[in-house]
Amino acid sequence: MAANSSTGSATEPPGLETQWREIDNLNQQQLRAGDSWYLLDKRWYDQWKEYVHAGDQNSSSYPGKIDNTELYEDLESYHLKERLSENEDFVLVPAEAWHKLLSWYDMMDDQPPLERKVVDLPSTVKVEVYPVEIYLCLSSNMESTVSACFSRADKIHAIHQKIRQHLNVSETAESRLWMRSTDTSSERLRNLNMTVLDACLSSGMTVIMEIRNADGTWPTSRPQIMRNSADEDSYRGPPGVCGLTNLGNTCFMNSALQCLSNTPPLTEYFLRNSYLEELNFTNPLGMKGEIAEAYADVIKQMWSGRHYSVVPRVFKTKVGHFASQFLGYQQHDSQELLSFLLDGLHEDLNRVKKKEYIELRDADGRPDQEVAEEAWRNHLRRNDSVIVDTFHGLFKSTLVCPECNKVSVTFDPFCYLSVPLPVSKERVMEVFYVSLDPTAKPTQYRLIVPKAGRVIDLCTALSQATGVPPNQMAVADVFNHRFYRIYQADESLSCILDRDDIFVYQLSSGCVDQEGEEVVMAIYMRERSHYRDYGSGSNSYSTSLFGHPLLISVPRAQCTREDLYQLLLKRLARYVRPLDPSEEVEEEEEEDEEELYKAQTNGVSDDEGEEDSEEAGPSKKEEETQESSQAKEQNNCQSEASPSSEGEERAEEEESSSEPDRGSSTEEGQSASGSTDTNSQDATDGDQSAGVEPSGKEEEDEDEDEEEEEEAASCAQANKRLPGRRRYTERQKKALFTIQAVNSNGTTERGMGEADGGFSFSSQPYIAIDWDPDMKKKYYNENEAEKYIKHQSMDVPHQQITVQLQECIELFTTVETLEEENPWYCPTCKKHQLATKKLDLWSLPEVLIIHLKRFSYTKYSREKLDTIVEFPLRDLDFSGFLLKKTVNSTEPPCRYDLISVSNHYGGLRDGHYTSYARNKDNGQWYYFDDSKVTYAREEQIVTSAAYLLFYQRQDKIRQPSVPPPVPSSSQPENHVSSQTHDGMDGASSCVSMETD
């Protein structure tokens, strides 16, 4: 720019001595960072000094107009020559001296002034003679660049404005800058208040301006693989009516984002780009503006009206980066995410750049109005942002010492109200009652029990319905056909979840214990496969659990196999068909395979390893394949032990009949009892180690003579070690099933006890009823076994507790005593006290967030409260809850209207979040379920799933600018396509995860 174009003609200079004195004095000033100094050609400056020192205004040494021609490379670009030296080629004068000389002598036409900045470098402060020359361009046309020079002390904002001027970019267009040092590397220039020096910009680098697209995305991050998104490019929907793709258990985040997106003052703040001027990059409590920018990107896309659904992947990544608890894809609480996000946005947009320390003062008897105003002023001295403007209110906290009655009053800001729900002291539980009557089907009851009660309370409630004494009941959790847990009478009911299948069994007598006359047995149903399981390294038959288990009390004297068999046969009479007399015997050859199975499954000893297995207890996993590990050679012994002639059979029968009775009345009973001598296990173990081939082939395939001789010898030895087993007769009595002692999982088989066929138990006994598949199919009625009846208590509809929102707010303001984990330090008593505390609302914000505390956590229990909270959609009046009463007409009203709701469906361990929200532009309510968006009616909004409520003060609610759409039969209810658009990280997704 020509000098005379800005300064006009030179003014009348003062006297020569005055000129020298003024300029010389100004040249003595110190360099200060940010000040401007100017370059003067050394020859012209020396000529001027000679002129003023001569003292003759008519002297021939008059310097004429300021002329810096010798400092330029050429008079077209006016670039400064390289390697110019101070006091040899030029001199530096401060801005004030320059302007005086310019006003006295003017400057050569078209020459620009050589203004330079003082920069504060790490080691020195100096005038920056050679500025940074940077190339400027737009991301849409990176081939066309213009160059411009900037001081290292200039702000990035100056570069931003220079690009707008040189490249004709509208002031209203939202843009962002990128710094590119190489052809492949670019870095975002986020902080426009950062200097060129701090941003590490150097000459030759390029700064690129990127302008946001109309659909809210940025050109550099628009996915390139979605070139088939013509439908989305042409889509024009209501702004804000946009889904959010579930990235994997991120419905909690989507729900909170939808509620904030439909908070008018906050969304309009971002859509107006007001946040750009308030980004705080230096706040140590903030996130360098990154959370605010990531949130702004999501909002701008959602409100562009160009997308069915947006993929908030970059936002999710930023959240996880600054809050590690949200890393990964686990389920989280939407209220926790909302709390983090509001705090993060506040710190990123905090207008207070340097927070001062403020010591909090107690009221000390001062009036509430005075203390409240002081507290709010102090809060704004450290916290001033759009979040404070929109969401922050003030409540009064009153603490009273129980010992000295010291009263402490403080006023504290809040961002949301966490209000408790009235907690019922009772609980509804559903159980299945199994009677002693074998012909009676299980009955399902619905009982009301104390929430903090014990198992005996459950039995007492059931006793009132059945007439059976509580001490004759056993309570168990059944899972996967086994007992997951058998409860003791004094255990807390909080151990039982609503989703557990609880069975209550009637016992024949009360007060049963391990040392008493009766023992409680857990009975499992098992079915063995048709084939041996050779692949597992054993040749035993695999087994699997089925049906419902039983708990029965048995006299200890009747714990023999025959007695148990008859007892169980009677107990299962409802769904197990007994044998006809004609079916009770069968040919020996038909029994061979059955006898083989019985011998191999009943020869397991009770060792310490199995005790460990039992103590480990059951686990709720998928049903495991049941196995019984037996020796291959004992199987051979079993098949070869059958007498080959009738004479041998009789001889063996006579021999066995001369022995004392072993406690089994039939030969079938003997074979079912199997081996009771632990020596048989020793023989089996030896055979297993010597005779089982890794290949898993059957014994019939082994025809080597030596092996056959060894097998015969082993069989003879094994038969000698089976004193409780009779030799086979020609015809044998048949049994429906066999009985096997097992561990609590029903997987590992245990020892048989004494040799007389009785069981001996050192802990809770578990018995398996083992069924041959053919026998089970013929005699076991599965349909009948699964049947149950519903008691009339099940027909009474479960009455959900309904409370008013006002009741919850009243609970919030109720006096409570501090917990032991959180005492208050009394300044008078000089010790921690369990003081009483009362919270009262003093002032409310424009948008009030109410958090319904549905998740209850105590020392003894964790639960989710499904209480229906009836909250008004309009005219929620807080005037009755505010301590600060309206004193004049300028005070804002206390009436609020609902604008959005975050819902949680499910329980503590799992669940799904959705949201309802009222669009700020058309006033229509919508239901947001991740990427799905549907119209919603007002009567649908109040449910037991409501978790977060967003209310806006009525005086701030704007009337809809466009009429709400009217759903019609021609318009699909679900108008959000499965297409999604990820305009943030260069990736796209066409898969919508609708649930967590």
* CATH code for position 288: 3.90.70.10
pLDDT value of position 959: 78
Q: Which residues contact 405 (CB under 8 A, 6 or more apart)?
A: none
**192 and 258 both lie in a single domain:** no
pLDDT over 80 at 770, yes or no: yes
Q: Comparing C-alpha atoms, which of 243, 289, 213, 332 is closest to residue 930?
A: 243
Query: Which of 92, 120, 148 delimits the end of a domain?
Result: 120
In a domain, 706, yes or no: no
Residue 590 has pLDDT above 80, yes or no: no
**Whether 382 and 238 share a structural domain:** yes
- β-pair partners for 444: 432, 790
Confidence of residue 744 (pLDDT cuts 50, 70, 90): confident
**pLDDT at res. 14:** 85
Query: Average pLDDT of 257-269?
Result: 96
Handedness of CA 189, 190, 193, 198 (dihedral sign): negative
Q: Which two tokens stand for residue 955?
A: 């005086």
88-115 confidence digits (pLDDT tens) = 899 999 999 999 999 988 888 888 898 8
Q: How far is CA 811 from CA 21, 107, 802, 836, in A?
A: 80, 80, 15, 14
Give the pLDDT mean for 673-697: 36
Annotated catalytic residue: which of 242, 251, 401, 459?
251
Angstrom distance (rounded) from CA 837 to CA 410: 11
973: region left, alpha or beta (phi > 0 left; psi from -120 to 50 alpha): alpha
Q: What is the pLDDT of residue 993?
A: 30
- Comparison of pLDDT for 393 and 223, the residue scoring more: 393
The residue range of the domain holding 72 is: 27-120
pLDDT at 886: 54
Tell me how far apart the alpha carbons of residues 900 and 827 are, in angstroms, rounded to a whole number.
43
Q: What is the pLDDT of residue 80?
A: 85
pLDDT of residue 494: 83
* 843 CB-near residues (< 8 Å, 6+ apart): 372, 376, 393, 394, 882, 884
Asked if residue 510 and residue 564 are part of one domain, the reply reads yes
Percent residues over pLDDT 70 in the chain: 73
Query: Do residue 788 and residue 854 come from a single domain?
Result: no
The confidence score (pLDDT) of residue 638 equals 39
Residue 152 belongs to a domain with what CATH number? 3.10.20.90
Indicate whether 432 and 399 sit together in one domain: no
Is 112 a domain residue? yes
Span 445-480, pLDDT tens digits: 999 899 888 999 999 999 999 999 999 999 999 999
400 and 447 housed in the same domain: no
Residue 609 domain flag:
no
Contact partners, residue 267, CB within 8 Å, separation at least 6: 240, 260, 261, 299, 303, 920
Across the chain, how many H-helices and E-strands are there?
A: 25, 42
Q: Using the predicted structure, report yes or no on whether residue 924 has a pLDDT greater than 90.
A: yes
In a shared domain, residues 260 and 399: yes
- If one compares 4 and 22, the residue with the highest pLDDT of the two is 22
What are residue 817's phi and psi, to 5 degrees?
-100, 135
How far is the CA of 973 from the CAs of 236, 936, 963, 966, 991, in angstroms?
A: 17, 10, 18, 11, 20
Most confident of 143-147, 254-258, 681-685, 952-956: 254-258
The dihedral over CA atoms of 770, 771, 772, 773, expressed in degrees to the nearest 10, equals -130
981 given a catalytic annotation: no
- Classify strands 141-150 and 132-138 as parallel, antiparallel or unpaired: antiparallel
Q: Are the C-beta atoms of 334 and 253 separated by less than 8 Å?
A: yes
Give kind and range of the element (H or E) at residue 294: helix 290-302
Contact yes or no for 409/863 (Cβ under 8 A): no
- The H or E element containing residue 849 is strand 847-853
Do 311 and 194 share a domain, yes or no? no
From start to end of 617-750, where are the E strands?
626-627, 731-733, 738-742
With CA atoms as reference, report the closest residue to 736 among 600, 579, 585. Answer: 579
C-alpha–C-alpha distance, residues 844 and 715, integer Å: 90
Strands 868-870 and 876-877: unpaired
Q: Mean pLDDT check: name the lowest of 124-128, 499-503, 537-541.
A: 537-541
- Residue 170 inside a domain? The answer is yes
Q: Which pLDDT score is estimated for 252?
A: 93
Give the pLDDT of residue 510: 56
Which of the four pLDDT bands, split at 50, 70 and 90, describes residue 508? confident
Selection from 230-244, 603-617, 744-758 with the highest mean pLDDT: 230-244
Residue 838 lies in a domain: yes
| Tokens (6 digits) for 228 | 């088939």
User: Of 186-200, 611-625, 786-800, which gets the smallest average pLDDT?
Assistant: 611-625
> What digits encode the pLDDT tens for the residues 805-828?
999 999 898 888 888 888 889 888
The pairing of beta strand 502-506 with beta strand 426-434: parallel
State the total domains in the chain.
Answer: 4
Concatenate the DSSP letters of all residues of 522-559 into one string. EEEEEEEEEEE-GGGT--SEEEEEEEEEEEEEEEGGG-
- Tell me: do 416 and 434 sit in the same domain: no
| Phi then psi dihedrals of residue 290, to 5 deg | -75, -35
pLDDT at 182 (0 to 100): 59
Beta bridge partners of 413: 394
pTM reported for the whole predicted model: 0.59
Strand 90-94 vs strand 36-41: parallel, antiparallel, or unpaired? antiparallel
Domain shared by 891 and 868, yes or no? yes
Q: Are residues 243 and 386 in the same domain?
A: yes
pLDDT confidence of residue 413 = 94
| pLDDT recorded at residue 212 | 86
Q: Assess if residue 724 is contained within a domain.
A: no
CATH number, domain at 78? 3.30.2230.10
Residue 642: pLDDT band with limits 50, 70, 90: very low
Residue 389 counted as domain residue: yes
pLDDT score, position 656: 40
What is the band of 604 on the pLDDT scale with cuts at 50, 70, 90? very low
Distance CA 413, CA 385 (A): 14
Judged against a pLDDT cut of 80, whether residue 963 lies above it is answered with: no
Q: Which residue has the higher pLDDT, 965 or 727?
A: 965
**Which range (209-223, 708-722, 822-836) has the least confidence?**
708-722
In a domain, 471, yes or no: yes
Q: Which of 307, 332, 851, 912 is catalytic?
A: 912
In a 3-state reduction of DSSP, which class is residue 767?
Answer: strand
**From CA 901, how far away is CA 791, in angstroms rounded?**
38
Residue 790: count of CB within 10 angstroms of its CB: 12
- Are residues 111 and 146 located together in one domain of the fold? no
Q: Is there a catalytic annotation at residue 242?
A: no
d(CA 218, CA 372): 45
Q: Which amino acid is at 689?
A: S
Instruction: Say how far residue 111 (Cα) sits from the centre of its chain.
Output: 66
Residue 262 is given by DSSP the state T
* pLDDT attached to residue 147: 86
| Residues 619-628, mean pLDDT to the nearest whole number | 39
Q: What is the mean pLDDT of residues 959-971?
A: 60
Question: From the centroid of its chain, how far is CA 505?
Answer: 39
Residue among 909, 693, 929, 942 nearest 800 (CA): 942
